[in-house]
A and B are shown apart, each in its own frame.
Chain A
Amino acid sequence: MKRKLILAGALALALSVSACGGGGTAAAGKTGGTLNLAVSQALKSWDLAEAGNGQDQEYYQPVFDSLFRLDSKGAPTANLATSWEYDKALTTLTLKLRTDVKFTDGTPLDAEAVKANLMHTKAGKGEAAALVKAISDVQAPDSSTVVVKLSTPTPSLLRSLGNVAGMIASPKSLANPQSPVGSGPYTLDISSTTAGTEYVYAVNPNYWNKDAFPFDKVDIKTISDRTALTNALLSGQLDGSSVAADRIDAVKAGGLKTDTVSPGVVEGLYIWDRKGTIVPALADARVRQALNYAFDTASIVKIAKKGLGTPTSQHFTSDSGAFVPGLDQTYKYDPAKAKALLAEAGYANGFDVVMPDISSLFPEMQAAMVEQLGNIGIRVKLDKIPFDQFMPSILAGKYAMSYFKTGGTDPWITIQLIVAKQGTWNPLHFEDPHANDLIAQISRSTGDEQTKAYQELNTYLVKQAWNAPWDVVKDTYASSKKVEVTMNPFYNAPPLYNFKPAAN
C-alpha cells in the first residue's frame, strides 16, 4: 500500500521523462561483472500497455530502450529519437528516429514500430497508458519520422516519453508479451530467470550504444520485505536498491553509500472536503490556513521523517518551473495564530473530524498529525479500516481530510492529480473558477509565459490553503562500493546507464 502511494508519486514523476545526453557518458572504470539490483515491488507485466510507471521501469530498462532520456533537470535528450518538434497549437509532435536500431528479434526499429507501440500502450490500462491518453493518433510518413497527434495540449508528454510510456518493444511481441523483446542494451536470459523472484539480463551484443552500459550482466531481484532487502544489501548480495528511511543508518553502518533524491512527491495533510460537505468548517479558507499553521513541519521532518524531506508549503518542488521560493515562508509553525484563525472563522472550540486510521502504514505521520491537530483544538477520531481500503475509501469521498502524499516532477501532472476537477486526488471534485482559468492558460502557453501561469496558480493554491503540505519527500538509494551511481530525480530509481563500476 505504502508502495502504491509512492507509486502514485512516482507516476507523476515518471511523467516527467526526459533523457540525459544520449549515451555520451562512456564507461569510466573497468568493464564487465554483474550488476546486482533489487526492486521491492514485483513486476506487473511485460506488456507495456499494462505497465506500471513506478518500479516496473527498473525491470524494463535493460530490455526496452525509450524514445528520450531525461537529463538531471528533467529536459528530454536524444535517445531513440534524435530530434523533436511541437507545432504552434501544441497538439502535434514530430519525432525523428535513429535509423540504425534493430530489435533483438531482427525486426528494424522504425516509425511503424514506434507507432504500433504508442498506440498499443495508449490503449492499455496501465499507469503508463494513463500518461499518454491524450494521444489521438500516430502517423508514420516515412521510416524515420513519427507524427504524434494530441487531443489536447499535454505539457508533460515529452517527459512521459522519456520513461516507460516511451519504451519501444518489438511489434511482433506486442500481441503476446510472455517475455520481452526490445532493442535495449540487454536481453532477458529466460533460462536463468525465475519469474517474480529474479530477472537475469545478458548483454545485447548489437546494441547501438554499448559503451553506456559497462556491465556484462544485470541481475534484478524482487525483494519485498524491508528487512530482507536490508540484509541482502548488508551481506553484499546487492549493488543497489532503494531503501526505506528507517534502514538508512543500518545500511550506512554496513559500508554502503546512500544518495537521496526528491521525486516531486509532497506529503502532508490533504484536505479533500474544500466544499464543506462533510466538515463544513473546511469550506472556510481561514480554517484551512489554520491547518497549515498547525504543523511544526521542521520537527516532523527531523524526527518522524528522520531528516528525509524538505519542509514546504507548496505542491511544486524546486525542480519545477512552478516553484516559487518565497511561498515556503507563507505558513510558519504558529499554533496561536492557527487558533486565532479558527476563532475568527467561528470555531474557537475547534471541531471534530473523522480520518482513516493509517497507523499500520504511516505510524509516525499519524502520531504527529493527531498530536498537532489536537494542539489547536481539532479533535481527530480515527476510523479503523482494513489497510487496502485506505485509498479506495478516500477516492470514494468518505473522508474530509487525511494524511496523504502524491505529486509529480512535472507540474502539469501534479495539477492534473490534485487541482483539476476530475483529478484523481480531488475525490470530492472541488472546483475553483480562478484555478481553472489558470490551468487553461498553462496548457495553451509555452516557455516563460507558461512558467508565469504555473507560478501564479501555485501562489493562488498556497494562499487558498488548498492543502496543508508538510514536506517534499526524499527517497534514498543505497549502493555498494563496487559501483558508482548518479541519481536522477526524474526516475524512480537511478536509470541503468547511471551505474558504472567503481573506478578501482
Chain B
Amino acid sequence: MVVFLIRRLLAGILLVILVASATYIMLNFTGSDVARNIVGETATPEQAMAKAAELGLDRPIGVRYFDWLGTTFTGNLGKSWFNSVPVSTTLLTALPVTLSIILGALILSAMVSVVLGSIAAVRAGWLDKSIQVGAVLADSIPGFLVALILAMVVAVNLGWLPATGFVPFQRSVVEWLRSITLPSIALAFGATAATTQQLRGSMLDVLRLDFVRTLRSRGLSDRRVIFKHVLRNAAPPALTVLSLQFIGLVGGAVIVEKVFGLRGIGSIATSAAVQGDAPVVLGVVIVMVVIVVAVNLIADLAYGWLNPKVRAE
C-alpha cells in the first residue's frame, strides 16, 4: 500500500514536471511580444525592452527554462507578468470557486445518475429507452446553452438565485450554496448524462449475475437488492467514469464560469492564455495536473475500498 502510494506520487511528480515543461516551451514559442502587451500600447519601445529585460525574456530560452524549473521546484510559482500578483494568491482565490462548482456538479450528477441509471437498468421498455435517449440528448446540448438558459430563466427572470458571483463558504454557507447552485447544475448536465449511461450499463451487467437472484431468493425486497447490492457492485466502473468526468468538468468549468461571471481557474486560465501571462498559465497547469493526479489517486483508493478483492491486497 505504502509502496503503491509512493510510486503513484513519484509518477505524479514526473507528470507535473513534464506537462509544465511542455507548456513552458509552447508558451515560449508563440512568438507574441508579451513585454509589449504588458507595458501597454502607450509605452515606448524602450519601456517594452526594459520590461522584457526585467522579466528575463531577453535571455536564451534554455537558461530561462532551467531558471524557471528551479524556482518552481521550490514551490514558488512566481508573479503574474501583468498585475504582479503572486500566482499562488490568484490560484488560492480561484480554486475554491472552481472546486466548489465541480464538487457540486459531481455530487448532483452522482445522485441523479444513480436514480436514473437504476431506473433505466431495472425497468425495461419505454422508461429505459426514454432515459437513454434523454441522456444522449442532454449530453449533446452545448454546455454554454444550458448555462445561458439557466442564468436567464432562473436568475434573471425568476430571480430565485444569483445570476453572477461567488460567495466563499466561510463567509456564509447558505449564500455559498445559492451562488454555486446554478453553475453546478449547468456543469452537471452533461456529466450526468454520461454517468447515467455508464451506471445503467454496469448495473445491467451486475443484474445478470447469479448472486442477485440468490439474494432475491432469500426474500430481500427488490429495492434492497438493487440499491444495496447491485449498486454497490456497479459502483466501481461508474466511479472510474466519475473520476474521468472530473477532468472533463474542469473544461466545462471554463464555460460555466464565464456565463456566471465567476473568477475560477477556468476564467483565470482563459484570460492568462489570451494575454500570454506565462507564469499564471503555468501555475494553472501545474495545479490542474496536481489535482488530476490527486483525483485519480483518490479514485483508485476508493475503487479499492469498494472492491474487497483489491482491498485485501
Contact = CB atoms under 8 A, between A and B. Distances in A.
A414 B171 CA distance: 47
B93 A195 contact: yes
Give the interface size class of chain A. 35 or more
A224 B261 contact: yes
B43 interface: yes
B42 A8 contact: yes
9 contacts: A45-B83, A130-B43, A194-B263, A195-B93, A224-B261, A224-B271, A231-B152, A388-B276, A424-B41
A225 B41 contact: no
B275 interface: yes
A194 B168 contact: yes
Interface in A77-136: 125, 127, 130
Interface in B136-185: 148, 151-152, 155-156, 159, 162-166, 168, 171
Contact of A227 (B45, B148, B168, B267): B148
Interface string A45-77: 101001010000000000000000000000000
Contacts of A389: 32-33
A229 interface: yes
B51 A232 contact: no
A421 to B, nearest CB: 12
Interface in A195-253: 195-198, 221-225, 227-229, 231-232, 234-237
Contact of A386 (B32, B45, B51): B32
Given A130-B42, A231-B151, A42 B83 contact: yes
A122 B84 CA distance: 18
Contacts of A197: 93, 97, 165-166, 262-263
Interface string A244-271: 0000000000100000000000000000
Nearest to B90: A196
Give the interface size class of chain B. 35 or more
A395 interface: yes
A228 B261 contact: yes
A386 B166 CA distance: 31
Question: Nearest 8 pairs between A and B by C-beta?
Answer: A228-B261, A231-B163, A223-B261, A235-B163, A232-B164, A392-B33, A392-B36, A197-B263
A237 B263 contact: no
B47 A237 contact: no
Interface of B: 30, 32-33, 36-37, 39-45, 47, 51, 82-85, 89-90, 93-94, 97, 148, 151-152, 155-156, 159, 162-166, 168, 171, 258-263, 267, 271, 274-276
Contacts of B43: 125, 130, 424
Interface in A434-489: none
A8 B41 contact: yes
A391 interface: yes
Contacts of B84: 45, 47, 50
Given A125-B43, A228-B163, A392-B32, 20 more contacts: A8-B42, A11-B42, A125-B39, A127-B40, A195-B90, A196-B90, A223-B164, A223-B261, A224-B267, A228-B261, A231-B152, A231-B163, A235-B159, A235-B163, A237-B164, A386-B32, A388-B32, A391-B41, A424-B42, A424-B44
A417 interface: yes
B153 to A, nearest CB: 11
B155 A235 contact: yes
B287 to A, nearest CB: 16
Contacts of A299: none
B208 to A, nearest CB: 48
B263 to A, nearest CB: 5
A302 interface: no
A194 B170 CA distance: 12
Contacts of B156: 231, 234-235, 254
Given A227-B148, A388-B276, A395 B41 contact: yes
Nearest to B50: A125
Contact of B82 (A8, A44, A236): A44
A151 interface: no
Contacts of A11: 42
A388 B93 CA distance: 26
A277 interface: no
A388 B262 CA distance: 23
A25 interface: no
Given A44-B83, A388-B276, A424-B43, A234 B163 contact: yes
B73 to A, nearest CB: 26
B186 to A, nearest CB: 12
A44 B159 CA distance: 32
A224 B264 CA distance: 12
B258 A228 contact: yes
Contacts of A359: none
B165 A388 contact: no
Given A44-B82, A231-B156, A234-B156, A195 B41 contact: no
Contacts of A52: 40
A420 to B, nearest CB: 12
B269 to A, nearest CB: 13
Contact of A392 (B37, B171, B260): B37
Nearest to A424: B42
The residue among A50, A52, A395 with the most chain B CB atoms within 10 A of its own CB is: A395
Nearest to A423: B42
A389 to B, nearest CB: 6
A4 interface: yes
Nearest to A234: B156
Contacts of B45: 395
A349 interface: no
B182 to A, nearest CB: 10
A422 interface: yes
A232 B261 contact: yes
A39 B259 CA distance: 16
The residue among A44, A52, A194, A424 with the most chain B CB atoms within 10 A of its own CB is: A194
Contacts of B148: 227
A221 B164 contact: yes
A31 interface: no
A398 B90 CA distance: 35
B263 A235 contact: no
B275 A388 contact: yes
A231 B44 contact: no
Contact of A237 (B30, B165, B267): B165
Contacts of B276: 388
Nearest to B171: A192
Given A8-B42, A422-B44, A198 B165 contact: yes
Given A195-B93, A227-B148, A235 B162 contact: yes
